[in-house]
Amino acid sequence: MTSPETITYVRDDENPTIARVIYILYLVSLAAGITAVVGLVMAYIYKRRASPWLAEHYRFQIRTFWIGALYLVAAFFLSFIVVGFIVMGAVYIWTIVRCVRGWIDLERGRAPEPVENWWW
């Protein structure tokens, strides 16, 4: 008689690959918006399984999505008085800066600082 096989699941809490993919999805979303939503869902899913420093990256990415969405809504309404187009350009630059800054911190193996920041 054979014994039942035990299936072991290995959690890779320290692997930053998914966080890299999410930063890429956010940057690609500047040309094709839907990829940011995919990145947001991934960040919510992987945040629970990550080590503390990596969970901070997922939190940073989630905040980047929601704050960016808020800025884009404001830019849309301001576009009726032309100022919104300038704000929209600023939101694109803001997104790029946050993703690059987050990626640099990710490669250095540390949490992004400060996570709670609304600006950069």
Please report whether residue 113 resides in a domain.
no
Please report whether residue 5 resides in a domain.
no
Helix, strand, coil percentages, rounded to 5, for the chain: 70, 0, 30
Please report whether residue 60 resides in a domain.
yes
Provide the number of structural domains found in the chain.
Answer: 1
Please report whether residue 62 resides in a domain.
yes
User: What stretch of H or E contains 80?
Assistant: none
0.75 exceeded by pTM? yes
User: Which DSSP state fits 113?
Assistant: S
Range of the domain at 43: 17-107
Please report whether residue 9 resides in a domain.
no
Query: What mean pLDDT do residues 70-75 have?
Result: 94
Percent of the chain with pLDDT over 70: 88
| pLDDT > 70? residue 34 | yes
Please report whether residue 10 resides in a domain.
no
Rounded Cα distance, 53 and 76, in Å: 35
Rounded Cα distance, 22 and 35, in Å: 9
Please report whether residue 73 resides in a domain.
yes
Please report whether residue 55 resides in a domain.
yes
Round the average pLDDT of the chain to a whole number and report it.
88
Cα separation values, 31 from 7, 14, 20, 45, 47, Å: 42, 30, 18, 24, 26
